[in-house]
Amino acid sequence: MNNKHRDFIIFLIIYGIFLIISCWNLPITESTEGRYAEIAREMLRSWNFLEPTFQGIYHFHKPPFAYWMMCLGMKIFGINDFGPRIGGILASIISIIYVYRIAGLWLKENKDQFLVALIFASSGLFLLEAHVIATDIYLCTFILMAQFYIFNAKNKARPFLLGILLALGFLTKGPIILLFTVFPFIITALFKKEYFKYFKLKEYFIIIFLSLSLGLSWYVYVCLKHQGLLEYFLGIQVYDRVFTDHFGRTEAWYYFIFCFILSFFPYSIAFFNAIKNIKKNYFPKELLFFIIFPAIIFQLSMSKLSSYILPFYGLASLIAFYGIPDNLKKYIKYFAYLIILGFTFILLIFSIFGEYYINHDRFHKIKCLGKFKFFTSIINKIDPEKKEDLLIYSWNLPSMSFYRDKLAYTANYEKREILFEKSNSLGLKHYLDTDEKLNNFIKEREKFFLVCHNYRIEDTKDNKCELELMEQYSINCKHLSGKLKHNYQLYECFQYKLL
């Protein structure tokens, strides 16, 4: 082991172990994790790795790279809580390594590089996203890697590697990677002409060719196969995300500022202190272009989620380092350890004692406490051979399809995008969007499992979702999820003629 980097390597090993321990039995939450995990499960089961489906219906919201990593994890570890998370854990470790390497371009002391990596690894949003089944941690990794090879190009250009990384970012979440890499590089070069000299003309062509040919390959394939998909990508997935509230994610103008201050606290104080004393600090000012440009674009965009700003945190950790007074830097390491330990402990406690919280009245409205894993375990004990179908009424719970490893039926829920479906597709058969389809589903089955979202329940004892179906479709339902006032209920339902 290289003594020069020994402490950092030991930290990475321990950090990775903590991530594995805290993720091993961590229940999948709704709706983001459930959606991504279920898409990856369906991809693995269908062996179709180019056309993602969500509950059987084509789902082209995101490119497939993150799904591929989740599929690989499930192939190795199985369809469980940990399988789709292992790829994100590896991406998190790589992200920390590249923050350490970026810091090393300007900081000569290994202990200072290590401190920057610690700031990043213990920041609230990064700790959270390292555990989440989603695309953001993969995109963050490719962005940090690409940024390192951009900044390090003045020492040694790696055009092939940079082109591949940009392509992988494109295959993870579309053109967003360009906001953190290519566009800030161009803007920086306008102010610092030597930046253009980092790469030779031939190397620019290599980067452009690889990033476009590999990055656009999947888009070209699916657009050629599905008529109208190009208009869908440009119209809904790009234009509507930026300029309309199509996805219902509009937030106040200060949303990202608030998220950054809170999820990067207390390092956000040091970050703004470094900015405030920008003339006194010696941090590389070009880093600001790689933060300010994407920040402005996100600020102007109508669609806002806290996870969008995760790629800021690598460079923000380096800037924050310069804003920490020298007499406090020796304490930051212990503070970071405390945050990481505390976060791991909380998740570990929940993983072990989660069932207590699931069955406690105080937590009945919280969707992330593993109740759907608990519901599915009840169903699988009653029907281990998975002969009976599951109907999810008035809501959409993809995690139950995931845990059951069988596609559930959904009814009386929001309209799905079915413009790329064929009339006899599996997804449409499981999407009961009319009373006639629901009636046929119930008539064709002697019994089935039912999960209701009792959105009408206030302080009443009536489970109105159950009564609504019983009265309209002549079925009788046996309550399986206890007598607590959950906003979700599990039943086993029978036709009256069987009773």
DSSP string of 278-295?
TTT--S-GGGGHHHHHHH
Tokens 């470094």 correspond to 274
**2-11, long-range: CB within 8 Å, 24+ apart, which pairs?**
4/110, 5/110, 7/110, 7/111, 7/114, 8/100, 8/110, 8/113, 8/114, 8/117, 11/114, 11/117, 11/118, 11/121
Q: What is the pLDDT of residue 16?
A: 94
Q: How far is CA 20 from the centre of its chain?
A: 17
Q: What is the pLDDT of residue 363?
A: 47
Interatomic CA distance for residues 56 and 45, integer angstroms = 11
Q: What is the pLDDT of residue 416?
A: 72
Distances (CA, A) of 432 to 32, 53, 439: 22, 17, 9
Determine the 3-state secondary structure of 378 from DSSP: helix
- Strand 447-453 and strand 488-495: the pairing is antiparallel
418 has pLDDT over 90? no
Interatomic CA distance for residues 170 and 175, integer angstroms = 5
Label residue 106 exposed, middle or buried (CB < 10 Å: 0-12, 13-18, 19+). Answer: middle
**Do the beta carbons of residue 55 and residue 410 sit within 8 Å?**
yes
Q: 47-72 as b/e, with b when 16 or more CB fall inside 10 Å?
A: eeeebbbbbbbbbbbbbbbbbbbbbb
* Confidence (pTM): 0.91
Q: Which residues pair with 448 in a beta bridge?
A: 493
Residue 219 has φ and ψ, to the nearest 5°, of -60, -40
91 has pLDDT over 60? yes
pLDDT in tens, 163-219: 999 999 999 999 999 999 999 999 988 888 888 888 889 999 999 999 999 999 999
**Do the beta carbons of residue 492 and residue 480 sit within 8 Å?**
yes
Two tokens at 256? 């990202």
Determine the 3-state secondary structure of 494 from DSSP: strand
Q: What is the pLDDT of residue 498?
A: 46
Q: 176-194 as b/e, with b when 16 or more CB fall inside 10 Å?
A: bbbbbbbbbbebbbeeeee
pLDDT in tens, 220-262: 999 999 988 888 888 887 877 777 777 777 777 788 889 999 9
Q: Which candidate, 86, 49, 41, places its Cα nearest to that of 65? A: 49
Q: Which candidate, 295, 302, 297, 296, places its Cα nearest to that of 249? A: 302
Question: Would the CA dihedral through 240, 64, 220, 299 be positive or negative?
Answer: positive
Counting every residue written for the chain, the total comes to 499
Average pLDDT across the chain, whole number? 86
Interatomic CA distance for residues 82 and 58, integer angstroms = 25
298 has pLDDT over 90? no
Lowest-confidence segment of 9-23, 100-114, 390-404, 415-429 by average pLDDT: 415-429
Determine the 3-state secondary structure of 435 from DSSP: helix
The structural domains of the chain, ordered by start, are: 3-30+61-344 (no CATH), 371-498 (3.40.50)
pLDDT in tens, 99-158: 999 999 999 888 999 999 999 999 999 999 999 999 999 999 999 999 999 999 888 889
| Amino acid identity, position 486 | H
